[in-house]
Amino acid sequence: MFKTTLALAAALALAAPAFAQDYTIRAVANSNEEDEDYDGLQVFKSHVEAASNGAIAVEIYMGTQLCSNGAECLQGVADGSIDVYISTLDGAAGLFPYFQVLDMPYLMADDRVAERVLSGDFMRYLRDRALEDSGDTLRLMTIGNTGGWRSYANTQRRVQTPADLAGLKMRTVVADLPQELARAMGASPTPIPWPELFTSLQTRVVEGTANGITDIMSMRFPEAGLRYLTLDQHAYMGAYWWMSNDSFMAMPEDMRQIVVDGFYALQQATFASPKRKSIPAYEAFAAAGGEVYVPTPEERAAFAEAAEPVYAWFTSSVSGGEEILALFRDAVAEAEAAVNEERTRDIQ
């Protein structure tokens, strides 16, 4: 399906006549052209411009050209100066604390489960709630991926157990839950915006971070001293793609459908991109002197046990936290059941 969508977009781009641009979508990602965000935006732009016969133009702004951090960029979407923005918890958690539920550690087992959860009705629940809570300004269009899975990486030592994280100065996004998780592991959390992380590692403001291998290598973190990566994969790195609701609803229904389909193609591109890019990224990490450690099942269980206080913090500290965590657990359980049924059928 994904290949068909891309092929159709490419064919339309070549064959379609030029039409006047009736709508312009200004899309921002605070990353670089090596990132999954850029891959997704390229697919989105190709599909939307081609399928609309040029009626919709997509302008891509990478880095900090239009805004410098999550809170500032989301404010730009809310007031209409930006049409599309991709955020992680940075920025989004300040407006919608319950979004932190997707960073709950050790709840989703693998890509198949995560991708099914983020493509289903739980995403639509988050969309509707965020739209209401933002006064009909911020519309969640889709949830993709930006970097695979969060795993612990640091400049100091191999991490095999939670005890090995004790005392490390760990960078977190500007959100409460990742800080609580770092504390539960005995580390010292330091919230730092993504564009500042390289310098912070280089100057030892922080000694570690929680990221995937593609982000580590696209940002050249080994050059800043990062050496040790532990693949505990405690959280799926969800990417929240927001659109100005005013910009979206200003389009007629046929154009809105094209945009929605464009975000589906974008989501599939960001799901796929880290899987492919991780292959050369691991090779480059090793060549740069990096060490990758895969925890045993027993060690990973120890990490999950150490993380237990985070669940209690979320349900007691986030308004409606108990309800939304239960909804998320139900969505994960349904996804696991469906994936396991497919696996059983496929091996017969």
Residue corresponding to tokens 């702004």: 61
Whether the full predicted model's pTM is greater than 0.75, yes or no, is yes
Reported as half-sphere exposure (CB side, CA atoms, 13 A), residue 275 has a value of: 9
Strands 228-244 and 138-154: antiparallel
* Structure tokens belonging to residue 89: 């918890």
The residue ranges of DSSP E strands in 173-212, in sequence order, are 188-191, 208-211
Helix (H, G, I), strand (E, B) or coil at 228: strand
- Residue range 52-110, pLDDT digits in tens: 999 999 999 999 999 988 889 999 999 999 999 999 887 788 899 999 999 999 999 99
Residue 106 near residue 327 (C-beta atoms within 8 A): no
Q: What pLDDT is recorded for position 101?
A: 96
Domains and CATH numbers, the chain: 2-346 (3.40.190.170)
Which has the closest alpha carbon to 92: 100, 80, 104?
100
Question: What pLDDT, on the 0 to 100 scale, is given for residue 89?
Answer: 82
What's the pLDDT score for residue 21?
79
Positions in the chain whose pLDDT score sits under 70? 1-20
pLDDT in tens, 191-200: 998 889 999 9
